[in-house]
Structure formats: structure tokens, C-alpha cells
Structure 1
Amino acid sequence: MTCFKLYSACIPVRGASRSIICNLVKGNFNYIPNTLYDILADYKNCNIEKIENDFDERSHKELHKHFNFLVENGFGFWCDKPEEFIDMELDWDRSSPITNAIIDIDNLSKYDVSEVIRQLDNFRCEALQIRCFSVISIEEINRILSVTTESNFISIELYLKYNPIYNESFLKDLCEKHKRIRFAIIHSSPEEKVISSDDDYYYAWFDKTELKDESHCGNISRKYFSPNILLFTESQHFNNCLNRKISVDKEGNIKNCPSMLMSYGKIQNTSLKEALEKKGFTDNWIIKKDEIEVCKDCEFRYICIDCRAYTSDAKNKYSKPAKCTYDPYRTTWS
């Protein structure tokens, strides 16, 4: 008995008009027709003879073409005992009450950034994004980042507003000195340039995009797709942008995300822990893609970051992200 089996980290996702199959280890995906998705779902662990018997003989050539495509692209294999290969569990959990955070700063910010970072570290926060909308000195940058040296953070994304002294040498030295930096972006730059370490551990680049405030968030684009195990599994159960996130905006307001309207206190007189415990803070954490209008019909829903701050209908928490221009019914971007 010869059966077709998908590798455990290769998972198909059905959309309204087409499907994709994701390789969550290699971090890529390919398009497949919905008919192939249905075959993979309906004939899981079935032998090829059973599948062929249920289809018109004229369809067999196309059927084998589909399976050859999946094998050639590393999504699956033929075997005699498919039950011996266990499917990947799609559960998601982390030990940290807060896994990711955003800190926004401009030249009018009056709160202590270092103290916010210390509080985040008490949560065992894994990922930190620091966004500077105004130029700050090299001394201040290093002072802020010095707090993360002995911290629990796994990765730091740093956004800095362009300053001529922020040259390529500066970025390399900064990333080498502060090892937790994975991405350093110089926004509002007159040129675009990408820099990476020899081992690709960190990336730094100059970007012409001007970031004046938090309103640049929420853009949905193919370039932001992330076919990986953590995002894919989290998307099954939680909101893949807001879940376990806490933020401090440039004015010191504690929010789920800086772009959200609701504030749960000022960081100057409210701790992050106190804000997290307030009623309503975690409400958006459980809004998953399968519940969101249009997104629930989109083949990219588990690899695409959601946005609840900018939605098509502000009164409907389940409405489509306002900055998404993809139509899954026509498979077109506008």
C-alpha cells in the first residue's frame, strides 16, 4: 500500500478561491488549487489506489502531477505506513505573561524608558521593539540599550530617525555591542541600504520611509508574511499581533498597542503589571484570524500579521484590517 504523506511542518491552508501549503521549517509557501487541498484533507493517509478509484480515469494524470509537485518541492513523500509519521501539534503557549512589547519615543517623551524596560524584563518578555520618532543622541541610545544587557530579551528591533552620524560603521558597532539587536532600522533616510553581519545574525538598513508616529502601523503586505511555526500556531488560537503584547506610546500611555485608542494608565504613575491586570486589557488577545471578516476566507491568514487598531469598521472588532488591500475572493491586491 503506497500512501502520500505531508511532512509534519508542511500544512495546507484553504482560502476562498485558492489554497497555499506552508513549509513552517523552511519558511516558505506555494500556491495550490482548492481541489488539491480537498484531496489532501479528504484522503489523508489513504493509498493512491483508493484516491484513483474515486476519480475519473481522465483525472489521474492531473492527480499525479499534483503529487509530484508536492514531492519535488519538499512538502511530502510516499510511504507504506503513514500512521508511523505523527502530525505536528498546533497548540501554542509561552511561559511569559508578556512575550512582546513596543516602546515609542519622541523629543517630547517625559517617561523613563529604562524603567519600562526593567518592568518588561520582570515579565520575561522575549521581543522588544523600540521606535524613536525623533533624533536622539548616540549616548542616549547606548544608555537605553545598556539596560537590556543582562535581560531576558531574545530579540530587539530598533527604529532610529535618520541622523548623518548614524552611518554604516555606527550601525555595525551598535549591533555588535548590543547583541540582542536583531534588526536596526534608520528610517527617514535619504537612501536605502541593507547591512548584515557575516553570519546573518543581525540586519540593519537605511529606509526612506518616514515614521512620524505610530500611525505607520497596520500595513498588510506580502513582504510581511512569516510562514513559521510560532506565528502559525499562535494564529490558530490568538490574535497574532496583540496577543501577550503591551506597549507604551510616546506620551507614556500604557496600551495593548500604541495605535490603540484605549489607555490603561500613564507609565509615570501606573506599573505595567497594574495596567495588565485592568479589565479589558487582554480582550483583543483572543480575536483570531478565523473570526475576522474576510481574513477568515484568506489563504494567508495564519502567516499574515493582523491589526485591530486600524479596521474597516471601527465599531466592529471583527472587521477586516483597514490597511489590507488583498481580496481573497479575486486573489488580487489593489
Structure 2
Amino acid sequence: MVSQCTRFAITEGFSREILINYEKEIQATPKGFSKYLINKEKGNKEYDKFISDNALYSIHPKANGYVWNSFSFITNLIIDISVNTIDTPISPILNELLVEAIEIRYLIRSQKKLEQYLTKISGVSLRTIHIVIKDMEVDEKYLSRLFSHPLIKNIALPISFKKSLTLDVIHKDMSQGISFYDPEEKSLINLHITPSYELVSESKEYHTYFNRKLYISSSCQVKNAPESTEEFADIRLIDCKELKTIVQSIAFQKYWRVTKDNCDVCSDCEFRNICVDRRIPKQREERWYHEKECNYNPYINKWKGETGYVSLQTTGIISSAKTFRIDSDNVAYLNRILWEEI
């Protein structure tokens, strides 16, 4: 269950809930807190103090009926800029699909060609541009020049670049838009995001990673996302109208409406409405599951690497192509060991 208003949302997990305060932070709350708040109950001093300290008000009944939507056929386009894709006519694609944001994964080493590429998307109705640079050498002067483009909100650089850059040289507003990534990082879950009313609302009806996403690979293949295995066309061999037909097809949108509430394990996780999960879901009849475990175990409220963390299998959770099963006795036993005195 997720209850929300324009200031906060509360998501119920297997053994606890979280308060997602859009103005402050995410806080864990005891299971049952949302019902206490919604029903305007009184008498629990701990709950009443928490409500007062955080200025929480009753859930607005109309807010729960809000359904996320967008005029865009594709909200997010990811494109690998390689020798194969550098000449792809990008502006017509952005305009035809009403793309809101583009992530440019720049795989070649020419600074000049990147700037020339950015001129190709001037004048289109984008909201943001995110650039990921693989191994092209950059300095502070070049980064400042890139940030002069009004739509560039973030430039991600390999973490090895961090020592060679003096970010103080770059304007403060620009340096805050620079991030560093580890090329070896294989994490498929992103919780390092700013929770928003739109994200929580989208999560109730759609998959927050695969929904309205389009990926054009370095070899020109059209896919839903970089993690997808299905290839739908070679971008060099189709026009914008044909691309639009592809992204509107049932096959392309296979994962768009796979919500966390309909996935094994995820449906029991209190973070499901703010999680951007890149794992490909697998279907089992009318439910979905994942072959790879998440880094968080919602049955014991522990992250991988934390003291006391154990895998789902050790917890007594079986999620596979054949079945989904919870060993409630084992889950209760582990929680007593972790959180209570035996």
C-alpha cells in the first residue's frame, strides 16, 4: 500500500513502513503508522510526537487517485555516441517522440565532435541533457564550455578523472552538476535519487526504469534499455515514423507496466515506490520475478554489506520461474535474532 499527498508518501513493507518526505528525507516508521495517520487515531504518544515533529497532516484522499502520465511517447532517450551513431539525425527523433530528456553516452575522444553534436539538438523541446564521458580527456575550461549549454544539467566522468580536475575553477553551479562513476560498478539498483511526487505516482502504474525509455546502442540497435536483450531495428535503416511505430508496439512496451506491486519480493519492500531497478523482470503466469537478488532484503530490513544481512534464500524466500514461497517461521526467527532479544 502507498498513501501520499503532495508533501509526503508512506509505503508499507513486509515488516515496516517508510515515510517519504519530499521536502526533507526518507524515514523508517513502524508498520501500522500509515493507518494511524489516515484514520486520525490518537493515543500513541510516540506516533503523535512523530506527526507533530514532522508537521504531517492527513493523507489527501484525491492524491491517491492521481495517475502519472506524460504527453511524450518517450520521456528518456539514451544514445551511445560512437563512430556508427555520430551521424544519426537526432533532432527529428527527439521532436517526433516528444523526448523530455536525453542521456548522451559519449564513447569517442573528439571534444569538437561532442560540441558539434550538441548543436544538432539545439532548438528541440528537451528539458534536460545528461552527458556520460567514457575516456575522452577533459579539463576545467572544456567542462565550463559544455555547461554553457542551458539544457546540460549533469556531466558524469570516470572516477579516475577526479584527481586531475580542480572543480573550484568551474562556476559553483556548474561544479555541482559534475558527478563521477566507477566503470566497474555493476549495481542494478538506484536508490541515490531525489524522491518526488511524480516518481512515487509513476511507480504505482509503471516500471520506473523501463517506462517510456528508448536506447540506441553503439552498434545502432534500437532497444528499450541498455539492459534489454531484444533488438527491434537498426536506427540507420528506419525513419522517425517507423521508430514511432516500434516504440508504440506491445513488444517494445513489454516491461513498461510491470509494477513493483506485481513482482515477487519487491511487493514486500518498503522502498519499492522510490526504487529505480534496472533488473529485467521475468514473467511467471500473472506475476513477475527477478533472477538476480536485490541488494536489499526487505524481510529483515538489511542491506548487503550490513551486519546481519543474509540472502533471500537463507531467509527462507524462494522466488523462481516455478513458485514464490515465504518461510514465515524462519523469517520471524531471523528477525528475533536481529532485532529482539531471545
Give distance in 2, aligned partners of 1:250 and 1:320.
27
Q: Which amino acid aligns with 2:100?
A: E
1:173 to 107, 127, 145: 145
1:92 aligns with 2:60: no
The residue that corresponds to 1:124 in the other structure is 98
1:252 aligns with 2:220: yes
Give distance in 2, aligned partners of 1:135 and 1:16.
46
TM-score w.r.t. length of structure 1: 0.78
1:155 shift after superposition? 0.7
1:11 to 6, 9, 12: 9
C-alpha distance after superposition, 1:176-196 (max 9, x if no partner): 1x1111110112524367677
Q: Identity rate of aligned residues, in percent?
A: 24
1:227 to 188, 191, 195: 195
C-alpha distance after superposition, 1:46-97 (max 9, x if no partner): 4xxxx34xxxxxxx4xx122222222123x14xxxx79x6642431111111
1:110 is paired with a residue whose SS is coil
2:110 to 134, 137, 155: 137
Distance 1:197 1:100, change over 3 A: farther
Give distance in 2, aligned partners of 1:39 and 1:131.
47
List structure 1 runs of 4+ shifted beyond 4 angstroms: 192-197, 199-202, 313-317
2:276 to 305, 309, 318: 305
1:152 shift after superposition? 0.8
**What are the residue-to-residue correspondences of 1:1-334 with 2, within 5 Å?**
8-24=6-22, 26=23, 28-41=25-38, 43=39, 46=40, 51-52=41-42, 60=43, 63-74=44-55, 76-77=56-57, 87-88=62-63, 89-106=65-82, 109-132=83-106, 134-164=107-137, 166-176=138-148, 178-187=149-158, 189-191=160-162, 197-199=171-173, 203-207=177-181, 209-210=182-183, 219-222=188-191, 224-271=192-239, 272-309=243-280, 318-320=288-290, 322=292, 324-334=294-304
Give distance in 1, aligned partners of 2:34 and 2:67.
22
Distance 1:217 1:154, change over 3 A: farther
Q: Which amino acid aligns with 2:101?
A: A
Gaps of 5+ in 1: 1-5, 53-59
C-alpha distance after superposition, 1:212-257 (max 9, x if no partner): xxxx6762144x2431011111101011111111111111100101
Q: Is the 8 A contact 1:99 1:245 kept in 2?
A: yes
Give distance in 2, aligned partners of 1:129 and 1:113.
16
C-alpha distance after superposition, 1:6-54 (max 9, x if no partner): 8642221100111101123x2622110103233224x2xx4xxxx34xx
Q: Is the 8 A contact 2:94 2:124 kept in 1?
A: no
Query: Structure with the greater relative contact order (CA < 8 A, sep ≥ 6): 1 or 2?
Result: 1
1:144 is paired with a residue whose SS is helix
Gaps of 5+ in 2: 305-342
Count residues with an aligned counterpart.
Answer: 294
TM-score w.r.t. length of structure 2: 0.76
1:273 shift after superposition? 1.8
Distance 1:241 1:36, change over 3 A: same
The residue that corresponds to 2:322 in the other structure is none
